[in-house]
Amino acid sequence: MNKKGDKLISIYWFAILFIVVGAVVYMVYIFYGVPYDIRGIESGVLTEHIADCLAEGGYFRENVLNSEDFKNSFLTRCNLNFEVEEVYDWDGQEQYYVEVNFYEFDLDSSEVGSKLNFEIIEGNINVKTAELLENPESEGRSFYVLDEATNQQYIVNIMALVRKTEKNEI
Amino acid sequence: MKYNKAQAGETMTWIVATLVIIVLLFFSVFATSALVKVLKVGERSFPLNKHETQDLLASKSLSAYLLTEDDGKEIFNQINEEGFFNDFNGELAEKLFKGFYNEENDLVVGMMVFDPPPEGGGAKHSSYFTEGVMGGLTLQSTSRTFNALHVQKIYLNENNNRSLELLVRGNLDD
């Protein structure tokens, strides 16, 4: 009689154990199953990579400023590859957009400076359009740099955007 | 008869215990679901930025700032010789670094002076930002009066007891 009771109690304990484990697994899944949005980090890394490609030690690298050759081979010169995974029909739609603008720095001016007639644009312009619709004040990041030959001061603004919405939103 | 009553009592205890466990589990699952709904997508961004202590763009700007020439002399040498910021390099620092990130988080260029290192010991802060105007901000405190995140340090002399620091000032805890 007692043996039968013990058996029942064991089954009961196992049942409770499975219910508790199941509930904990479910809670962890619903909490951590939501994807992290790493687009900000990705665009930050891209921005820093481009900045490093443009300038080093406070000065522009050689043949960067006003160089049509650099502009035309920007992706190759900066070792950038905008190809993405073959998922979510991304084949025909680029997921990145990069825009680099150069300004002559003027300490006395209230503005950043006068924009040069030299800009670098790569990637999918629709990514920028979508970003500006969502964040109208989005303007990328800027840094201060010198031209070693002329000692002229410049501000370089880099806007690096990543779409990849499907992978980063619920 | 007595034996049957004891059995019934024990069974009731188990049933109540089971119910308590199930109710607690349901409550936990419900609370987790509610929490997930409250946390929006934007708030689930990867929490790395506020722990970041390196900023390549800020460092590049600081390098260029120190190499900028005024009357044929680089700002690095100017600060070293004059001991502190002057009108030109102070104003330039303000324009470059104030509001570098956004309205809430500024970059501040400041100067740190260390006491001579004690024998066998490391350098010790004698003051955090000496008195003066830096980046348009008058910082007279000898201690940290604001929440700051160290970004870059450049030593100004060979004894390593005088350095130029780049700090983020602002709401870093948000």
Whether the CB of B25 is below 8 Å from some CB of chain A: the reply is yes
**pLDDT at position B151:** 66
What does the pLDDT average to over B50-63? 75
**Looking at beta carbons, which residues of chain A come within 8 Å of B91?**
107
Q: Which H or E element spans position A75?
A: helix A74-77
What does the pLDDT average to over A127-145? 83
Extract the tokens encoding A67.
């160089």
Q: Among partner residues B39, B69, B96, which is closest to A144 by beta-carbon distance?
A: B96
Contact (CB<8Å) A20/B92: no
| Mutation choice for B interface testing from A42, A139, A144 by most B CBs within 10 A | A144
Q: Which residues of A73-103 are buried (b: 16+ CB within 10 A; e: fewer)?
A: ebeebbebeeebeeeeebeeebbbbbbbbbb
Whether the CB of B1 is below 8 Å from some CB of chain A: the reply is no
Please choose, from the candidates A114, A89, A109, A101, the residue with its C-alpha nearest in 3D space to the C-alpha of residue A164. A89
Reported as a pLDDT band with limits 50, 70 and 90, residue A157 is very high
**pLDDT at position A83:** 84
**pLDDT at position B99:** 65
* φ, ψ for residue A14, nearest 5 deg: -60, -40
Reported as a pLDDT band with limits 50, 70 and 90, residue B171 is low
**pLDDT at position B64:** 92
Compute the mean pLDDT over every residue in chain A, rounded to the nearest whole number: 86
Compute the mean pLDDT over every residue in chain B, rounded to the nearest whole number: 68
* Dihedral angle over CA of B142, B148, B150, B151, nearest 10: -130
Contact (CB<8Å) B64/A58: yes
Extract the tokens encoding A134.
């969502």
Nearest-CA residue of chain A relative to B55? A48
Return the residue matching tokens 């109690």: A9
Say if strands B106-115 and B162-169 run parallel, antiparallel, or are unpaired.
antiparallel
ipTM of the complex: 0.80
**pLDDT at position A138:** 77
pLDDT exceeds cutoff 60 at A170: no
Return the residue matching tokens 């997508």: B41
Q: How far apart (Å, rounded) are the C-alpha atoms in residues A153 and A104?
A: 6
Which of A53 and B5 is assigned the larger pLDDT?
Answer: A53
Contact (CB<8Å) A37/B58: no
Whether the CB of B65 is below 8 Å from some CB of chain A: the reply is yes
Are B164 and B121 a contacting pair, CB within 8 Å? no
pLDDT exceeds cutoff 50 at B144: no
What does the pLDDT average to over A3-27? 86
Please choose, from the candidates A27, A43, A21, A154, the residue with its C-alpha nearest in 3D space to the C-alpha of residue A96. A43
What pTM was estimated for this model as a whole? 0.71
Q: How far apart (Å, rounded) are the C-alpha atoms in residues A26 and A34?
A: 13
Q: Which of these ranges, A69-83, B33-47, B107-121, has the smallest mean pLDDT?
A: B107-121
Using alpha carbons, list the distances in angstroms from residue A53 to A43, A97, A100, A157, B115.
15, 17, 12, 13, 39
What is the nearest CA distance from B140 to chain A, expressed in angstroms?
26
Q: Among partner residues B14, B48, B68, which is closest to A153 by beta-carbon distance?
A: B68
Q: Where are the alpha helices (DSSP H) in B39-171?
A: 56-67, 75-82, 87-97
Size of interface A-B (CB pairs under 8 A): 90
**pLDDT at position B67:** 93
**pLDDT at position B152:** 73
Q: Among partner residues A26, A36, A141, which is closest to B57 by beta-carbon distance?
A: A141
Whether the CB of B38 is below 8 Å from some CB of chain A: the reply is no
**pLDDT at position A69:** 93
**pLDDT at position B43:** 54
pLDDT exceeds cutoff 50 at B20: yes
What does the pLDDT average to over A127-156? 87
- Compute the C-alpha angle A77/A83/A87, nearest 5°: 170
Q: Which of these ranges, A19-28, B68-77, B157-166, has the smallest mean pLDDT?
A: B157-166
Tell me the range of B118-122, B153-157, B167-171 where mean pLDDT is highest: B153-157
The contact set of A with B (CB < 8 A) is 12, 16, 19-20, 23, 26-27, 30-31, 34-38, 40-41, 44, 47-48, 51-52, 55, 57-59, 107, 141-146, 151, 153, 169-170
Q: How far apart (Å, rounded) are the C-alpha atoms in residues B143 and B125?
A: 9
Which of A109 and B42 is assigned the larger pLDDT?
Answer: A109
Q: How far apart (Å, rounded) are the C-alpha atoms in residues B111 and B84?
A: 8
Nearest-CA residue of chain A relative to B49? A41
Strand order across the A141-146 sheet: A55-56, A59-60, A141-146, A153-162, A96-105, A113-123
Tell me the range of A11-25, A31-45, B94-108 where mean pLDDT is highest: A11-25
**pLDDT at position B141:** 35
pLDDT exceeds cutoff 60 at A161: yes
**pLDDT at position B170:** 57
Reported as a pLDDT band with limits 50, 70 and 90, residue B33 is confident
Nearest-CA residue of chain A relative to B54? A48
One-letter identity of residue A23: A
pLDDT exceeds cutoff 50 at B142: no
Eight-class DSSP state of B123: -
